[in-house]
Amino acid sequence: MPASMRASSFLGPLNAAMREFGIDTAQRQGMFLANVGAESGQLSTLVENLNYSADRIRVIGNASPPGSRWRSLVPRAAELASNPERMGNAVYCNRMGNGDEASGEGFLYRGRGLLQTTGKTNYIALMMALHVDCVDHPELLETPEAAARAAAYYWQANDLNKYADTGDFDGVCDIINIGRKTAAVGDSMDYAKRLALYKNAKQVLP
């Protein structure tokens, strides 16, 4: 889908979601939209890509701390390479509410939506909050309406207006990308891209 058509299909749902969840100032909206854009490849990616090469699995695994899930996958790199379903089940099993590897829940509840909701526990939380049955139908998070509401709900649930209102863009990025506020500035993935998108948003938001 061309970028202009993608943007058009998300315009209404994003505006509605921001109203619903109190993202209601230009500063809040700019920070929200910048991170949504960065996390979703400018609204083009609503499902996590788990198609890794063996070399990439080894690189990530060997750079991960000893005892981590990714480190444990290094000996299985050839088996998991170019197999998104097997990779998802291996990397996400037995955590975030998912069952064991054989359950298939790691792949079923892989990252979806504009901010990549991941794990059965988080899908259940969304179902309860949004009244959208994304547990039995996880593909619903690939629709503009549910994806926008899920992202805005995440923003509200993590009290990100608090960071936005004080101008702490780095804090917003940390919570969304790392899961916690860090002491370093700019250490979230693709921080420069997020910042550029925020600057662009500030120019067009009233």
* pLDDT 10s digits, 37-58: 999 999 999 999 999 999 999 9
Q: What are phi and psi of 112, to 5 degrees?
A: -140, 155
Extents of the domains making up the chain:
3-45+141-204, 54-108
Q: What is the pTM of this model?
A: 0.91
* pLDDT 10s digits, 142-199: 999 999 999 999 999 999 999 999 999 999 999 999 999 999 999 999 999 999 999 9
Please answer whether residues 163 and 198 qualify as being in contact, where contact means their C-beta atoms are separated by less than 8 angstroms.
Answer: no
Average pLDDT, the chain: 96
pLDDT at residue number 93: 98
pLDDT at 200 over 90: yes
In a 13 Å sphere around the CA of 140, the CA atoms on its Cβ side amount to: 16
